[in-house]
Amino acid sequence: MSSLKPCVDALYEGVDRVAEIIPGLPKCEVLLIRLLLLTGGALQRDVEAKLKPFDLNDSDFRTLMMLYSSAEGSSTPSELCALAEQKPTNMTRITNLLAKRGLITRAHATHDRRQVVLKITAEGKRMVRQMLPPMFPEVISKFSCFNTTERKSFEHLLKKLALHLDSTDVAA
């Protein structure tokens, strides 16, 4: 991961300059948004680099993980689209790739032949079990600047923001 310090410094300087020009700029909120996006982008690039040896990108990985973590190891494309925040066309691309690699299967639902059900295969489960454990130390390391209480608070605050944004999207 490249150094974020110059970006953070430039961000603060830029927001300070804009605040001098435009009265009433909500500096704290602007900084929070930009810092979240900057941090999220850096984490995203790091995840993508970790997935590259497995010939997966983040969308493919999240889809596979959603199937892995579901109660029956299965879901429908429309459910996955909503959870993975993907458009149907991209979900089709993702599921085609995962199916071609033997990580998932497609079948018609028994209760409704029009509905497609995606299910993780034994090979898909094996890949997840192979991929995840080596990632644990680095994931833990990324948050080592926080103590346990701070990590739980950070998680709580991010969840609170996510749910608030969800409720403001509905109201708009």
Contacts of 99 (CB under 8 A, 6+ apart): 105, 106
- DSSP label at residue 109: -
Question: What pLDDT does residue 137 have?
Answer: 95
| Residue 118, burial from CB neighbour count under 10 angstroms (0-12, 13-18, 19+) | buried
Give the integer Cα–Cα distance in Å for 9 and 4: 9
- pLDDT tens digit sequence for 8-53: 999 999 999 999 999 999 999 999 999 999 999 999 999 999 999 9
pLDDT band at 2 (very low <50, low <70, confident <90, very high): low
Q: What is the pLDDT of residue 170?
A: 57
pLDDT of residue 115: 84
Identify each DSSP E strand in the chain by its residue range.
Answer: 74-75, 104-108, 116-120
142, pLDDT greater than 70 = yes
Counting Cα atoms < 13 Å in the Cβ hemisphere of 66 gives 23
User: Does the pLDDT at position 160 exceed 90?
Assistant: yes
Give the separation between CA 124 and CA 130, rounded to whole angstroms.
Answer: 10
Does pTM top 0.75 for this prediction?
yes
pLDDT in tens, 42-99: 999 999 999 999 999 999 999 999 999 998 888 988 899 988 888 989 999 999 999 9
Q: What is the pLDDT at residue 1?
A: 52
Residue pair 74/98 in contact by the 8 Å Cβ criterion: no
